[in-house]
């Protein structure tokens, strides 16, 4: 059986056979292996959901993120004879060799241009051409100097259109409720996914779902004398389930009288192991939360990913396709699309990059482009925290990438050798970059090249939000702040530095943690009670009277450091006083250590199927 972590034994090919056509075929074969494993992972997720093996689903999600780079390394090793510029370098691993130290010769430029052209010719009947182009870029960027990161050598612009691409079996199925009624249609729709597990009561769930759907439809549709469900009413659902953690999701849309209504139906397992329909998500905010950048990537079996992305774009037209590809587990393709969109935005805007608002961090420098809803983060040369290094910070960000983010950790795109126009940087930001990161930023006459950069969605820092928000929104954010800490802890994440400046508030008002340099696993921490002071002098001393280990945490101190404002303190204590006690943290750590996985569903009780929902009139 193929495993996601399988590594092929690499045998470099003789250099004399590596023509441009041969190189193109090797790269495409490596991509095909990658995508076959990608689909195999989603197929495994279905079996794991049916058996309720939640630990394996999480492990599968982590493995799948990393094996793209494994396939790239395998491909480069196989191509080694053709890629080394001189024989003396062929004895080294390509992962360790810099092939960009001298300009390419005319022959080499022609070779790579011919290789790209040959690769395009191979994509005529490919079902994932956009992802294959990105894989080609991943291989080429390991070899070429950044001066060649343009469309002559890479797919900066796509070469193969995917607008109308579909699989042999269409990406979505269509159902017509007018022929047999809505309830029977929903039963058939769910049954067609072929889950190899029994349902708790599918006819009951279909009845509740139909009632809730009609109730929701009545809220948004003006009643007319005509039928609520027209003769040409369609329900269209994507052909594969979306698996994540302990749930599977049906994703679809209702088209009625020319209007489109998006929806998702979560499926969960009850204690006896039976499947039930749990909720109906049909509001924009609910679907946006489902596909949020603060959640783990879905496991979805897609023959034609472009068709899935196009379908989801009709449900969430404000969500960039880069983020949709990323949420479907194709984060490399998401990076490619983000970069294309970003270049387009730069060409059609005139504002300047500037230092991001908020309190400056000791580890990361953060800047933003006001007209673009993202922030750019780099690791400072000199980190003002004892024991903190560049490699440690990068490992923390990778830890978040591989972890279940439970809606409370911001996802990031990681880039290397990013060239940006120098004239678009404010003088204040240029001065800051020269001071804090001269080894990360290369400065040329017209360009700044960032050797390493993180990009993530822009949010309002919580400390700034609390200063200006009305009382009701401020109190909601304080409650969300405590909820975020609890949910991260239950997911085996201890945030470390829990100051408000390290949390952000999203467009939908959700509080998210985004400062990762001090995060640790809950199972690594030791939550202690402060022992009584031996005398009054000890209690008043500047140093503690008790020994403190490197991973010791004293929750009783949180109130002193975090709850100085009396209004915030009152609201926080009324909802989250347990976070100020070591007992809560100790019990949470114990549950995590036992391997318990909490239900982390991205919707509230108001979305759940309810037998008390009024019947449609």
Encode pLDDT of 550-566 as tens digits. Answer: 899 999 999 998 999 99
593 vs 10, which has greater pLDDT?
593
pLDDT of the residue at 220: 66
Using the predicted structure, report yes or no on whether residue 344 has a pLDDT greater than 60.
yes
106 vs 460, which has greater pLDDT?
460
Instruction: List pLDDT tens digits, range 394-416.
Output: 999 999 999 989 999 999 999 99
Beta strands 552-553 and 526-527 are parallel
User: Stretch 526-552: mean pLDDT, rounded?
Assistant: 86
Q: How confident is the model at residue 130 (pLDDT cuts 50, 70, 90)?
A: very high
The answer to whether 95 and 76 have CB atoms below 8 angstroms apart is yes
% pLDDT > 90, the chain: 71
Q: For all residues of the chain together, what is the average pLDDT?
A: 89
pLDDT of the residue at 302: 97
Helix (H) or strand (E) holding 238: strand 234-238
Distance CA 217, CA 75 (A): 51
Which residues are known to be catalytic? 411
- In sequence order, the 6+-apart residues with CB closer than 8 A to the CB of 578 are 584
pTM for the model: 0.90
Phi/psi-derived region of residue 71, left when phi > 0, alpha when psi is between -120 and 50, beta in every other case? alpha
Most confident listed range (108-122, 273-287, 378-392): 273-287
The answer to whether 372 and 338 have CB atoms below 8 angstroms apart is no
Q: By C-alpha distance, which of 209, 290, 285 is closest to 249?
A: 290
What one-character DSSP code corresponds to residue 275? E
Sign of the dihedral defined by the CA atoms of residues 69, 71, 77, 79, in that order:
negative
Beta strands 364-368 and 447-457 are unpaired
Using the predicted structure, report yes or no on whether residue 86 has a pLDDT greater than 60.
no
Using the predicted structure, report yes or no on whether residue 226 has a pLDDT greater than 50.
no
Picking from 129-138, 207-216, 424-433, 594-603, which range would have the lowest pLDDT averaged per residue? 594-603
Distance CA 280, CA 264 (A): 6
pLDDT of the residue at 151: 76
Structural tokens at position 124? 């005529």
71 vs 540, which has greater pLDDT?
71
User: Stretch 295-314: mean pLDDT, rounded?
Assistant: 97
Helix (H) or strand (E) holding 236: strand 234-238
């Amino acid at each position: 059986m193929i495993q996601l972590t399988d590594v092929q034994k690499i045998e470099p090919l003789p250099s004399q056979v590596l023509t441009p056509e041969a190189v193109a075929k090797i790269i495409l074969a490596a991509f095909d292996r990658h995508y076959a494993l990608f689909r195999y992972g989603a197929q495994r997720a279905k079996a794991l959901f049916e058996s309720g093996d939640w630990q394996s689903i999480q492990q599968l999600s982590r493995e799948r993120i990393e094996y793209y780079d494994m396939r790239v390394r395998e491909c480069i090793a196989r191509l080694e004879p053709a890629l080394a510029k001189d024989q003396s370098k062929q004895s080294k691993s390509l992962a360790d060799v810099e092939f960009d130290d001298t300009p390419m010769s005319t022959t080499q430029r022609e070779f790579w241009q011919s290789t790209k052209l040959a690769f395009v010719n191979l994509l005529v009947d490919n079902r994932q051409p956009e992802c294959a182009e990105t894989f080609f870029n991943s291989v080429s960027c390991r070899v070429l100097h950044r001066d060649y990161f343009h469309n002559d050598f890479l797919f900066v612009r796509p070469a193969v259109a995917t607008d109308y691409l579909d699989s042999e079996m269409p990406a979505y199925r269509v159902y017509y409720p007018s022929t047999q009624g809505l309830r029977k249609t929903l039963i058939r729709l769910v049954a067609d996914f072929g889950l190899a597990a029994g349902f708790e009561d599918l006819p009951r769930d279909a009845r509740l779902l139909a009632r809730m759907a009609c109730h929701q439809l009545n809220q948004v549709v003006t009643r007319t004398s005509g039928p609520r469900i027209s003769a040409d009413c369609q329900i269209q659902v994507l052909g594969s389930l979306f698996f994540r953690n302990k749930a599977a999701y049906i994703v679809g849309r209702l088209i009625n009288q020319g209007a489109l209504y998006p929806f998702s139906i979560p499926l969960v397992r009850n204690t006896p192991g039976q499947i039930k329909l749990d909720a109906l998500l049909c509001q924009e905010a609910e679907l946006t939360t489902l596909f949020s950048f603060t959640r783990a990537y879905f496991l979805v079996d897609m023959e034609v990913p472009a068709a899935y992305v196009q379908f989801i774009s009709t449900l969430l037209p404000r969500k960039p396709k880069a983020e949709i590809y990323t949420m479907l587990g194709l984060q490399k393709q998401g990076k490619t699309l983000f970069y294309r969109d970003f270049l387009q935005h730069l060409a059609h805007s005139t504002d300047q990059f500037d230092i991001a608002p908020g309190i400056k961090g000791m580890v990361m420098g953060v800047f933003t482009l006001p007209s673009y809803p993202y922030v750019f983060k780099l690791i400072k040369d000199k980190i003002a925290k004892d024991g903190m290094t560049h490699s440690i910070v990068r490992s923390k960000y990778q830890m978040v990438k591989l972890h279940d983010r439970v809606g409370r950790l911001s996802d990031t795109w990681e880039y290397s050798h990013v060239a940006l126009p120098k004239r678009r940087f404010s003088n204040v930001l240029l001065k800051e970059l020269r001071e804090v990161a001269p080894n990360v930023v290369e400065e040329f006459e017209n360009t700044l090249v960032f050797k390493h950069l993180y990009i993530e969605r822009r949010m309002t820092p919580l400390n700034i939000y609390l200063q200006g928000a009305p009382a009701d929104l401020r109190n909601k954010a304080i409650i969300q702040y405590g909820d975020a800490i609890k949910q991260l802890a239950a997911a085996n994440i201890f945030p470390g530095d829990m100051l408000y400046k390290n949390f952000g508030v999203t467009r939908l008002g959700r509080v998210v943690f985004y400062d990762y340099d001090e995060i640790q696993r809950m199972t690594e921490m030791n939550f202690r009670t402060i022992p009584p002071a031996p005398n009054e002098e000890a209690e008043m001393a500047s140093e503690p009277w008790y020994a403190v280990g490197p991973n010791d945490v004293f929750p009783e101190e949180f109130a002193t450091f975090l709850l100085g404002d009396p209004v915030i303190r009152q609201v926080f204590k009324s909802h989250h006083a347990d976070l100020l006690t070591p007992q809560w943290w100790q019990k949470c750590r114990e549950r995590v250590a036992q391997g318990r996985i909490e239900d982390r569903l991205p919707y509230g009780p108001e979305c759940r199927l309810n037998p008390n929902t009024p019947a449609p009139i």
